[in-house]
C-alpha cells in the first residue's frame, strides 16, 4: 500500500520572511490559490495579529473556495505566567477563524531559560494550556516543536516531555523542527526513529537549509516514519531558506513511491515554482532541481548524442513528469547535432550533414569567436537560424537611434533616447528619458513600436547582465550583455556584444522585441 504524506506549505509565512520579499494581501491570495491547485493538504497563511496584512489575508481567504487545502493560522504558545483564555496571541489565532491552528513551543531548555526567561515547568504548562484551550474551541492543533533536534541533543528527557505534553493536550501532529537548520540527515533519521519508537506519533518534520541539507533531512525523517512534511515553494525562507517543497515532493513521490499529491499534479511543479517566484519578484534559479531551465539542459556533443539515443543516459527522470522540458544548449561544443535539434524545436527541419546545418554551425562559431554566447540566449540563436535560412522577418527598420546622458556625476543624471523607425511606409518615433541610457533606449523603442505592435506593452525586462569578454583590453574591452524578458506566457533571453556597452545592450533589446513579434506574426 502506498504511504501518504501530508504536505504542509508555509510559503506565505516562513517563505515571506525571505530577504527581499514583501507580499501584498493579493499576492498571498494568488499564491494560496496556485498552491491549492497542487493538492497540498495545508497552507499556512501567516500569523494573525502579528501585522495588519496577515489579519486581512485571513479575512479575504475565507471568500476563496479552495479545492484541496485547509488554511492554517500560525502563532505561539501563551505567554509565561498568564491564562490561555486571556492571551492576546491565542485570541488572534481563534479570530482568524481557521479550522486548523499551528502553534510552536520551545523544546530546547536553552531557549526556555535564555529567551522566555522562565522556568522549565512553566514552559510545559504553556504548551499544555495553549493546545488544550485551542482544542476546546473545536480547532485542530498542529504542534511545532521548535528547535527540537538541538533540544533533544542537549536534554532529551525534557524535549520528549514537551512532545508528551502537546500530545496529551490534544495536538493532532507533532512536528519536529530543525529550526537552526544545522542538523544532518543521519542525526535526523536516528532521532525521528527513536522518538517514534517511544510512541510519539503522528510525526511531522520542518527543516531549514542552513547546512544545505533541508530537503535531505526531510526525506530522512519521512523514511524514519514521519508522515507530515512542512516546507516552502522554491525553498524560500529566512536566512538560507526552508526545505524546497518542489524538490521534496518530486523526490518523495517519483523516487521513493510515497503519495504527496495526485499523480497528475506532478507535471504542474515547474509552473508552480515559476509562478511563485514571479509573484515574489524573484529570478528563477536556472539550476533548481527538476524545474530549473538548466535541469534537463545538455551542452556537450557526447551528452547530446547519448541523450538522443536514450535519455536515461544523462537524465535521472523524464522532464515531462514535472512539467519541464529537455533543452540542447547551443555552442561550439554541441556541433551539428545540436544545431539540427534546436532547429527542430523551431519547426525548421534539415539533416545533420545538410548545407544548412554547416552554415548555421559556421555562423555560430564565427559569432562565438566575436564574444557571443548562445547557450544562455536561445532567442538570439533562433533569430540566427532564421537569418541563415532566409526566414528572418523584418518587422521594422531604423532610421535614427540616439542616446545622450547629461549631468554625469550628479545625484540625478539624466539619459534621453530618440528612436525613429519605419514599419512598412509608416513612421514611428519614440522619445524617452530613463534611469540610464539602456533604460531610456528601451522606453523609446517601445514608444516607437507600440502603435504598430501593441503586444510590446506586455513585455517586461526581468534581468540584465554584463560580462567583460576580453578583460586584458582594459577599458577598451568588449562586453557581452544578456537581457532576459518575460510576458504572461514566455521567458526569453537575448545577447549583444560590442566594445560599447550601449550598443551591446541595444542589440539585445532589438533581438528581444523582434523575437516576441515573431511569435505573434
SS3 string, 431-471, reads EEEECCHHHHHHHHHHHHHCCCCHHHHHCEEEEEEEEECCH
Per the CB < 8 A criterion, the answer to whether 105 and 166 are in contact is yes
Q: Return the domain boundaries, the chain.
A: 6-261, 297-388, 397-518
Report cis status (omega within 30 of 0) of the bond before 202.
yes
Do 330 and 375 contact (CB within 8 A), yes or no? Answer: yes
Q: 117 — alpha (psi -120 to 50), left (phi > 0) or beta?
A: left
Residue owning grid cell 532529551? 156
Give the homologous superfamily in CATH for domain 6-261: Aldolase class I (3.20.20.70)
Strand arrangement, sheet containing 397-406: 397-406, 414-423, 426-434
Written as one string, the DSSP assignment of 62-127 is TTS--SSPEEEEEEEPPPTTS-GGG-HHHHHHHHTT-SEEEEEEE--HHHHHHTS-S-HHHHHHHH
What is the pLDDT, as a whole number, of residue 9? 98
CB–CB of 187/198 below 8 Å?
Answer: no
pLDDT for position 357 = 77
pLDDT value of position 474: 47
- For 436, what's the count of Cα atoms within 13 Å in the CB-facing half-sphere? 7
Mapping DSSP to helix (H, G, I), strand (E, B) and coil, where does residue 513 land?
A: helix
CA–CA separation, 183 and 178 (whole Å): 7
The DSSP bridge pattern shows strands 460-468 and 479-486 to be antiparallel
Q: In angstroms, what CA-CA distances link 260 with 182, 215, 250, 251?
A: 26, 15, 9, 10
Query: Could you read off the pLDDT of 462-519 as tens digits, one per residue?
Result: 888 888 876 554 444 689 999 998 887 788 999 999 989 999 999 999 999 999 999 8
397-518: what CATH class? alpha beta
pLDDT of residue 124: 98
DSSP 222-256: HHTT--EEEEBGGG--STT-B-BHHHHHHIIIIIT
pLDDT along the chain (521 residues), means of 10: 94 95 93 96 93 92 96 97 96 96 97 94 98 98 98 97 98 98 98 97 97 98 98 97 98 98 96 90 90 87 81 94 84 62 71 78 83 82 86 91 78 86 94 90 94 91 82 63 85 91 93 91 63
The grid cell for 242 is 526552508
pLDDT digits (tens, 9 = 90+) for 334-381: 566 667 777 777 677 777 777 877 888 888 888 888 888 877 788 898
Q: CB atoms < 10 A from the CB of 413, how many?
A: 13
pLDDT score at 33:
96
Per-residue pLDDT, 473: 47
Amino acid at each position: 500500500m502506498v504511504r501518504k504524506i501530508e504536505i504542509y506549505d508555509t510559503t506565505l509565512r516562513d517563505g515571506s520572511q525571505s530577504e527581499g520579499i514583501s507580499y501584498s494581501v493579493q499576492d498571498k491570495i494568488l499564491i494560496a490559490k496556485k498552491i491549492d491547485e497542487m493538492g497540498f493538504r495545508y497552507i499556512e497563511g501567516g500569523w494573525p495579529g502579528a501585522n495588519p496584512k496577515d489579519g486581512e489575508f485571513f479575512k479575504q481567504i475565507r471568500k476563496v473556495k479552495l479545492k484541496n487545502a485547509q488554511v492554517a493560522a500560525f502563532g505561539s504558545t501563551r505567554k509565561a505566567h498568564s491564562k490561555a483564555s486571556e492571551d492576546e496571541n491565542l485570541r488572534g489565532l481563534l479570530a482568524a477563524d481557521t479550522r486548523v491552528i499551528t502553534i510552536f513551543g520551545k523544546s530546547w531548555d536553552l531557549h526556555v531559560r535564555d529567551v522566555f526567561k522562565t522556568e522549565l515547568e512553566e514552559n510545559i504548562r504553556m504548551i499544555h494550556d495553549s493546545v488544550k484551550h485551542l482544542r476546546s474551541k473545536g480547532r485542530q492543533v498542529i504542534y511545532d516543536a521548535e528547535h527540537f533536534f538541538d533540544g533533544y541533543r542537549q536534554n532529551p528527557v525534557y524535549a520528549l516531555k514537551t512532545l508528551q505534553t502537546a500530545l496529551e493536550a490534544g495536538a493532532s501532529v507533532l512536528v519536529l523542527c530543525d529550526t537552526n537548520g544545522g542538523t544532518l540527515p543521519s542525526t535526523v533519521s536516528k532521532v525521528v526513529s527513536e522518538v517514534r519508537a517511544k510512541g510519539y506519533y503522528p510525526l511531522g518534520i520542518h527543516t531549514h537549509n542552513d547546512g544545505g541539507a533541508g530537503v535531505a533531512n526531510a526525506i530522512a525523517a519521512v523514511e524514519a516514519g514521519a508522515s507530515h512534511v512542512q516546507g516552502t515553494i522554491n525553498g524560500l525562507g529566512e536566512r538560507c531558506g526552508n526545505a524546497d517543497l518542489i524538490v521534496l515532493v518530486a523526490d518523495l513521490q517519483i523516487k521513493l513511491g510515497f503519495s504527496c499529491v495526485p499523480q497528475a499534479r506532478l507535471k504542474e511543479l515547474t509552473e508552480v515554482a515559476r509562478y511563485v517566484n514571479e509573484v515574489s519578484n524573484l529570478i528563477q534559479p536556472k539550476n533548481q532541481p527538476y524545474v530549473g531551465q538548466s535541469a534537463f539542459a545538455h551542452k556537450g556533443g557526447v551528452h547530446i548524442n547519448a541523450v538522443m539515443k536514450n535519455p536515461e543516459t544523462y537524465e535521472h527522470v523524464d522532464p515531462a513528469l514535472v512539467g519541464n522540458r529537455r533543452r540542447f544548449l547551443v555552442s561550439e561544443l554541441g556541433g551539428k547535432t545540436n544545431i539540427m535539434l534546436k532547429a527542430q524545436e523551431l519547426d525548421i527541419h534539415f539533416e545533420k550533414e545538410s548545407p544548412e546545418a554547416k552554415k548555421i554551425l559556421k555562423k555560430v562559431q564565427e559569432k562565438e569567436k566575436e564574444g557571443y554566447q548562445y547557450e544562455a540566449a536561445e532567442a538570439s540563436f533562433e533569430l540566427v537560424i532564421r537569418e541563415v535560412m532566409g526566414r528572418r522577418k523584418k518587422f521594422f527598420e531604423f532610421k535614427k537611434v540616439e542616446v545622450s546622458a547629461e549631468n554625469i556625476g550628479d545625484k540625478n543624471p539624466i539619459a534621453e533616447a530618440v528612436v525613429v523607425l519605419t514599419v512598412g511606409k509608416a513612421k514611428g518615433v519614440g522619445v524617452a528619458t530613463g534611469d540610464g541610457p539602456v533604460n531610456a533606449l528601451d522606453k523609446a523603442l517601445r514608444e516607437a513600436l507600440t502603435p504598430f505592435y501593441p503586444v510590446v506593452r506586455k513585455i517586461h525586462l526581468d534581468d540584465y547582465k554584463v560580462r567583460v569578454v576580453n578583460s586584458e583590453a582594459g577599458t577598451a574591452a568588449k562586453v557581452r550583455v544578456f537581457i532576459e524578458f518575460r510576458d504572461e506566457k514566455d521567458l526569453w533571453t537575448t545577447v549583444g556584444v560590442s566594445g560599447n556597452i550601449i550598443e551591446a545592450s541595444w542589440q539585445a533589446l532589438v533581438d528581444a522585441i523582434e523575437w516576441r513579434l515573431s511569435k505573434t506574426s
